[in-house]
Chain A
Amino acid sequence: MFCMMQSKRGAEILMDYRARHLDPASRAEIERHLENCNECRRVVEAQRELWETLDRWSPPEVSENFDTRLYARIAREEAEPAWQRWARRLLHPAAPLALWKPVASVAAACAVLAVALTVHPPDHKTPGPQVHAESVDIEKVAKTLDDLDFLAPQNPM
């Protein structure tokens, strides 16, 4: 019998099942599988226990004067000269990743292409057989570079 834990996709589906992200038909199918697969049942049960354990962690209440302090900060900022507000927006944009990461990723992708062309420059002297140059999807390359960077082992601190 095929065990879902044997494949990455299967393991992700079990995670979705536990998080209640599946539609009713898919849930029913998973539950039929779980009746017969000890390994998958063990993983789902372990995930349920983990979530119950994580549920025990209740954060403290937000301070009563949170809003007061926030509005005071807003008022201070609004009272600043315009040039100072613009400088802050430049240094601390609301969504920095949205502005800079795609640019950096595309720049990295272009650098990869530049290196590739440098190592294997087009040969202009000897016309070879007709080759259809594959168009490179820069967005895909950028996204793959992002994912590789993202999944690389991290220093825990």
Chain B
Amino acid sequence: MEAIAALERDAELMLRVRAGDDTSFALLLERHRAPVVHFLYRMVQNQPVSEELAQEVFLRVYRSRASYEPTAKFTTWLFRIATHLALNWIRDGRKEKGQESLNEELLDGIARQVADRQPTVEQEMLYAVKLREVRHAIEALPAKQRAAVMMHKYEELEYAQIARALGCSESAVKSLLFRAYETLRARLAHMA
């Protein structure tokens, strides 16, 4: 019930944005900023790029406010735009490796350290190795499988929403997820 109310609020807020209420846009941004940035981060594995793409997502939402119609869930629309931008970026091969990837791992490590209250150096190193394996396993997935897993696992979107975001049928989404999870299980089984 709460989830349904939240979805209705999203549509209601966006309709207010359409009517010229920028405060409602700020509320939508507050609610969806982190999920969109985190989704894009897991897709492109580069924080500056993920934030740049996320800004483009919200920019396009704001840009099209005048013609907004609540024909689908707001989150479906949001992640459709985000997925499109992420897949384009991956396809265009603008990923930068090397120093930036190392920085990402350091950032993740710092976040982990705060959460774990000063783990040992050995624990930190072990965590960094495991994290690197997870990231590489995700990165090795074909882009659309990756997007489907990100939306299914981390954003907890329904199959219908993922299907609309990816522009395919629910049946295709289930096949994608089945294959992706099978691949990830095989690759990460030793980490369990």
How many whole Å from B144's CB to the nearest CB in chain A? 7
In the complex, whether B124 has a CB less than 8 A from a CB of chain A is no
- Identify which of residues 38-63 in chain B touch chain A, using a CB-to-CB cut-off of 8 Å: 38, 41-42, 47, 50-51, 54-55, 58-63
Task: Given A50-B181, A50-B184, A96-B84, decide whether A56 and B130 contact each other with a Cβ distance below 8 A.
Answer: yes
Q: Write out the residue numbers on chain A whose beta carbons fall within 8 Å of the beta carbon of B168.
A: 146-147, 150
Chain B interface, number of residues (Cβ within 8 angstroms): 66
Q: Could you tell me if A62 and B64 are in contact, using CB atoms closer than 8 angstroms?
A: no
Compute how far the CA of A51 lies from the CA of B80 in the bound complex, rounded to whole angstroms.
24
In the complex, whether A92 has a CB less than 8 A from a CB of chain B is yes
In the complex, whether B111 has a CB less than 8 A from a CB of chain A is yes
Q: Could you tell me if B181 and A15 are in contact, using CB atoms closer than 8 angstroms?
A: yes
Q: Could you tell me if B90 and A157 are in contact, using CB atoms closer than 8 angstroms?
A: yes
In the complex, whether A130 has a CB less than 8 A from a CB of chain B is no
How many whole Å from A42's CB to the nearest CB in chain B? 10
Q: CB < 8 Å: which of B55, B111, B142, B185 contacts A58? A: B111
Q: Which of B93, B145, B175 has the most CB of A within 10 A?
A: B175
Chain B: CB-nearest residue to A49: B192
Q: Write out the residue numbers on chain A whose beta carbons fall within 8 Å of the beta carbon of B60.
A: 92, 94
In the complex, whether A117 has a CB less than 8 A from a CB of chain B is no
- Identify which of residues 19-63 in chain A touch chain B, using a CB-to-CB cut-off of 8 Å: 19, 21, 46-47, 49-54, 56-63
Compute how far the CA of A98 lies from the CA of B163 in the bound complex, rounded to whole angstroms.
12
Q: Could you tell me if A94 and B63 are in contact, using CB atoms closer than 8 angstroms?
A: yes
Q: CB < 8 Å: which of B34, B58, B61, B134 contacts A56? A: B134
How many whole Å from A106's CB to the nearest CB in chain B? 14
Compute how far the CA of A74 lies from the CA of B38 in the bound complex, rounded to whole angstroms.
22
Q: CB < 8 Å: which of B42, B152, B181 contacts A57? A: B42
Q: Write out the residue numbers on chain B whose beta carbons fall within 8 Å of the beta carbon of A46.
A: 185, 189, 192
Instruction: Contacts A49-B189, A57-B131, A57-B138 known; list 9 others, CB within 8 Å.
Output: A46-B185, A46-B189, A52-B192, A56-B130, A58-B111, A59-B42, A60-B108, A85-B63, A88-B63
The 30 listed contacts between A and B (C-beta, < 8 Å) are: A11-B178, A19-B152, A49-B192, A53-B134, A53-B188, A53-B191, A54-B153, A57-B108, A58-B112, A59-B37, A59-B50, A59-B108, A60-B108, A60-B111, A61-B111, A62-B37, A66-B37, A69-B55, A70-B29, A77-B63, A92-B60, A94-B64, A94-B77, A95-B77, A95-B81, A96-B84, A98-B80, A153-B142, A154-B144, A156-B143
B interface, CB within 8 angstroms of A:
26, 29, 33-34, 37-38, 41-42, 47, 50-51, 54-55, 58-64, 77, 80-81, 84, 90, 93, 104, 107-108, 111-112, 115, 127, 130-131, 134-135, 138, 140-145, 152-154, 158, 166-169, 171-172, 174-178, 181, 184-185, 188-189, 191-192
